[in-house]
Amino acid sequence: MGSEMTTGNGETSREPGELNEEERASIFAAANAPKERLGTMRSGRVAVPTKFIAWTIVAVLVLGLGGEVAQHFFETYGKASPTTTTPVLKGTPTTNPNLPTLISLQVFIGLKDIGDEVAPKFTLHTQGGRRWRLTSHKGQVIVLVFYNSICNDICPVLGAEIRLASRELGAAGNKVDFVIVNTDPNATKISVRSSALTVPGLSDDPSVTLLSGSVDTLNRVWSAYGVRIKVGAKSNEVSHNNVLYFIGPNGNLESYASPFGTESKTGLYSLDRPSLLTYARAIAETADSLVP
C-alpha cells in the first residue's frame, strides 16, 4: 500500500513513517469495535499514546510542479514536521468510553494536527462552471482532497471513501462540504460528467464539488497545500503525493490525513472493502467533530 505517491501509470513504494500491514491490521481491529452514533465523539481533541504517534509520521515528497521543495509544506505548517512528537490531537484526555475507537480511527488515516494556521485562500471553478472561493464557505467544515479529473490515480479509492463518509454523516452532512481539487495539468477541463465524479459515484451528491482551473492557478493551490505534481516522459504519467485536509468552520486548517491504496501492475488503484469502510468512517467522524 502506498500512502504518499499516486501515479497514473507507475509503481509505488512505501514512504517513511507509513504503517505496515501488521500495524494497519491492529489499528483496523481496534477501530471496528461496536459502532456508536456520530456526535457522541464530540468530546474535544485528546492526547494520544506515543506508540500511536510513531505510526502517523507522514513524509511529503519533492515533486515537480507543486512547489520547489518539500520543506515548503513543513515550513508553512511547522506542527507537521516528520520528527515532531506533537500529539495527533490536542486537548485534555477524557473518560469517554468511545475514545480508544476514535483514536484508532484517526491513527488509521494518519491524522496529524496542524494547529491554528488559516487555510490558504484560493478561487477555482466547479464542474458546473461556477466560480468557487474558499472564503465564501466560512461556517462549513471542508474536507479537501486532491486527485486527477480523469480518475486514473487514487480517485477510485478516495472517491469511494468520500461517498461512504457523506452517507455516514447523515444530517450532519449539511454542514460538511467535500471539495476535490484536480491534480492533472494535462486535463484541466472538467464538467458534471468528469470521471472524477462519475467513476466513484459522486455525481449526484450535492455535498461534493470538483474544482479546476488553469495550470497556473492550480499550481498556486498545489503549492499552497504542499501537493507535489510530477509529469513523466509520457503525457499520461502524472504523479502526486496524497493528502486530505480538514478545514474548520472558522477557516483554519485543523488537520491532515494520508489517503492510501493498492496499485496494480496496470496502474489501477483499489482498497479492500473493510479498510475502505474504516477510512470513510474516520473521515466522517473527524469532520463531524469539527461541526459547531
At 30 the pLDDT is 55
- Write out pLDDT tens, residues 135-173: 999 999 999 999 999 999 999 999 999 999 999 998 888
- Write out pLDDT tens, residues 110-122: 999 998 889 999 9
> Does the predicted model carry a pTM greater than 0.85?
no
Asked if residue 189 has pLDDT above 80, the reply is: yes
Q: What is the CATH number of the domain that holds 157?
A: 3.40.30.10
Nine-digit cell at 124?
A: 477555482
Q: In the chain, pLDDT over 90 holds for what percent of residues?
A: 54
* Residue 289 to residue 292: CA distance in whole angstroms: 8
Structural domains counted in the chain: 1
Q: How far, CA to CA in Å, does 24 sit from each of 57, 97, 105, 187, 290? A: 14, 22, 10, 34, 25
Average pLDDT over residues 191-203: 97
At 29 the pLDDT is 57
* Residue bearing the bigger pLDDT, 165 or 45: 165
Average pLDDT over residues 59-69: 36
CB 152 within 8 A of CB 187: no
Q: How far, CA to CA in Å, does 238 sit from each of 40, 57, 149, 263? A: 41, 25, 12, 14
Structural domain harbouring 279: 5-290
Rounded to an integer, what is the distance from CA 244 to the centroid of its chain? 2
* Residue 31 to residue 100: CA distance in whole angstroms: 8
Q: Which of 31-35, 151-155, 227-231, 238-242: highest mean pLDDT? A: 151-155
Asked if residue 68 has pLDDT above 60, the reply is: no
Question: Over the chain, what is the mean pLDDT?
Answer: 76
- Write out pLDDT tens, residues 256-266: 999 999 988 88
